[in-house]
Amino acid sequence: MIRRTFCLLVLLAAPLAAAEPTSTEISAVQLLADARDQRIVWNGIPGFTAELVVSLDGKTETGTIDVSSDGEMKISGVSLAEDKTIGRALDSLIAHRFRDEANEAGEEAYFDPKDPGTALGKLIEKSGGLMESQSRVKDGVIHEVIRRSKTGSFTITVVNVYRNPEGKYLPQVFTISNWDADGNLTASATVENVWKRVGDWDLPVSHTAIRTSDKGERKVVRVEFNHPQLKTK
């Protein structure tokens, strides 16, 4: 009688267990959500101004930058800002500080069962957002982002982060690697972003990048934000 009762309980419990999502699926989604919530964002910032010093391959220019509350940049006195290398640097520092929740809406995430993991975390596959990609999260930090297209892929690997008094973070030292569709490395960069607290916000102090390509090109980029001042609303 006891054996029959046990078997009946197992049969009744089986459908309920199968209907629940696995802890692995929940962990991947939650891991990404928690890491995103810990990033420093500028949503609500009043904007700021600073003296801008830009250096590219030995040439240096000084001007000013005015950043609005929505991230729009107005640059004066710096023609080097029109160079795409400098443009990428400014986007990395300014435009990426505003959280784009539309890109996260409807996103699904799960651990890649074939990936053994690295010191940067297990590989997380993402789909359903504006762009499919992969990530690695460790200790509440998104340490790696991999994005692929028909023409190739790129990987951003975060080595070190800056943390503010609230414990939230921004990438401080990271590498960028680009590959073509055949998997050949075409370009790489080592980047350091320095940040500091101004009022209640974390603003850029400097950006230094050394970029190289498979064509033998090498660019050294330096962007400095001197005397930053927050705007008053």
Count of alpha carbons within 13 angstroms of residue 49, beta-carbon side: 7
**What is the reported pLDDT for 105?**
58
* Total domain count, the chain: 1
> What pLDDT, in 10s, does the model give residues 132-169?
689 999 999 999 999 988 899 999 999 999 999 999 99
Would 224 be classed as within a structural domain? yes
Please report which helix (H) or strand (E) contains residue 87, including its range. Answer: helix 84-93
Would 115 be classed as within a structural domain? yes
Would 11 be classed as within a structural domain? no
Would 226 be classed as within a structural domain? yes
Number of H helices, E strands in the chain: 3, 12
* Strand pairing category for 133-138 and 123-127: antiparallel
**Which amino acid is located at 142 in the chain?**
I
**What is the reported pLDDT for 108?**
84
Beta-carbon contacts of 99 under 8 Å, excluding residues fewer than 6 positions away, are: 36, 39, 41, 43
CA atoms of 215 and 53, how far apart (whole Å): 28
Average pLDDT over residues 59-63: 97
CA atoms of 105 and 128, how far apart (whole Å): 8
Would 15 be classed as within a structural domain? no
pTM beyond cutoff 0.85 = no
Give percent of the chain above pLDDT 70.
84
Closest alpha carbon to 208 in 94, 55, 83: 55
Token pair, residue 152, equals: 């190739």
Burial class (CB in 10 A: 0-12, 13-18, 19+), 10: exposed
CA atoms of 134 and 132, how far apart (whole Å): 7
> What pLDDT, in 10s, does the model give residues 73-112?
999 999 998 999 899 899 989 999 987 765 565 678 899 9
**What is the reported pLDDT for 27?**
78
> What pLDDT, in 10s, does the model give residues 178-213?
999 999 999 999 999 999 999 999 999 999 999 999
User: pLDDT confidence of 62, banded at 50, 70, 90?
Assistant: very high
Beta-carbon contacts of 166 under 8 Å, excluding residues fewer than 6 positions away, are: none
Would 45 be classed as within a structural domain? yes
**What is the reported pLDDT for 127?**
78
CA atoms of 153 and 125, how far apart (whole Å): 15
CA atoms of 61 and 12, how far apart (whole Å): 74
> What pLDDT, in 10s, does the model give residues 15-41?
433 334 444 445 798 999 999 999 999
- Answer whether 121's CB lies under 8 Å from 111's CB: no
End-to-end CA distance of the chain: 76
Would 10 be classed as within a structural domain? no
The range of the structural domain enclosing residue 86 comes to 21-230
**What is the reported pLDDT for 8?**
37
Burial class (CB in 10 A: 0-12, 13-18, 19+), 73: middle
Would 221 be classed as within a structural domain? yes
Average pLDDT over residues 41-63: 96
